[in-house]
Amino acid sequence: MSLTSRSDQHALFSQFALVADALAHCHRLSLLELLAQGERRVEVLAGFLGISIASTSQHLQKLKRAGLVVDRPVGRQRLYRLSGNQVASLVLALEKVAETSLASVEKLVGEQIRSRDVEPPIRAAELRALIEREPVVLLDVRPAEEYLAGHLPGALHLPWERLRHEPPTWPADSMIVVYCRGPYCFLALEALQALHRQGYRVRRLEDGVPEWRRLGFPVEEDARGVA
């Protein structure tokens, strides 16, 4: 009986290891970050990652075998999405542990992210309070599909690709909060720096829509505010 216990535990933990193994590749982590924003097709995901469609499909299937994503056929294409909200939380937990206990990550994050924030990023809860106190321009710089799949209430949509070429003209004293996919997405950082150079008062929201949702805050899914 104690013998079966040991092998049972072995079998169980091997399954857990399978899930961890699915997380153990930078492209698959990128895929999960993208899918946390909403459903996407294989071809589009391949485009974001800059690798072949076949390779992307194989990564997706590894994630699927680990139960982290599910797919459904729509027309002649196939849409992938996270199998649940806990998946996005798991990835965030992984990244948080890496950041606090791996010096190399701490260094990378410091160099690439913290040094580019003109002031410390704002967290979801703080933002909710800030909105009550003063008018804030909320800026979503993700691609259109992700904005449409859900964005912060009242957020304007100005994807980084457009913002980059057509600088906005708001009243100079506007308070702007810009956000993208999450704490490790670089889109908001680019926008932040561009707007800062133009003299705007601008801060970055550290969290993305998935985390905002997880906290139980309201999300808008229509297209109001598209620039």
Partner DNA sequence: CCAATCTTCAACTGTTATATTTAATGATAG
Partner DNA sequence: CTATCATTAAATATAACAGTTGAAGATTGG
Q: How far is the CB of 118 from DNA (least distance, A)?
A: 34
Any contact of residue 59 with DNA (CB under 7 A)?
A: yes
Catalytic site includes residue 180: yes
Distance of closest approach, residue 133 Cβ to a copy of itself, in angstroms: 31
x/- string (CB under 8 A) for a copy of itself, residues 76-95? -------xx-xx-xx--xxx
Q: Are 219 and 150 contacting, i.e. CB atoms less than 8 angstroms apart?
A: yes
> Which structure tokens are listed for 181?
């996919």
69 is a site residue for DNA (CB under 7 A): no
Helix H or strand E segment including 157? strand 156-157
Q: Which of 61, 125, 144, 186 binds a copy of itself (CB under 8 A)?
A: 186
Tokens of 45: 């995901």
Edge-first strand listing for the sheet containing 77-82: 40-41, 77-82, 69-74
Question: Looking at 180, 187, 189, 191, which residue is catalytic?
Answer: 180
Contact 119, 203 (CB under 8 A): yes
20: helix, strand or coil: helix
- Are 63 and 40 in contact, with CB atoms under 8 Å apart? no
- Contact between 112 and DNA by CB under 7 A: the answer reads no
Q: Which does 190 bind (CB under 5 to 8 A by kind): a copy of itself, DNA, none?
A: a copy of itself
Residue numbers of the site for DNA (CB under 7 A)? 21, 25, 27-28, 41-43, 51-55, 57-62, 71, 73, 75-78
Known catalytic residues? Answer: 180
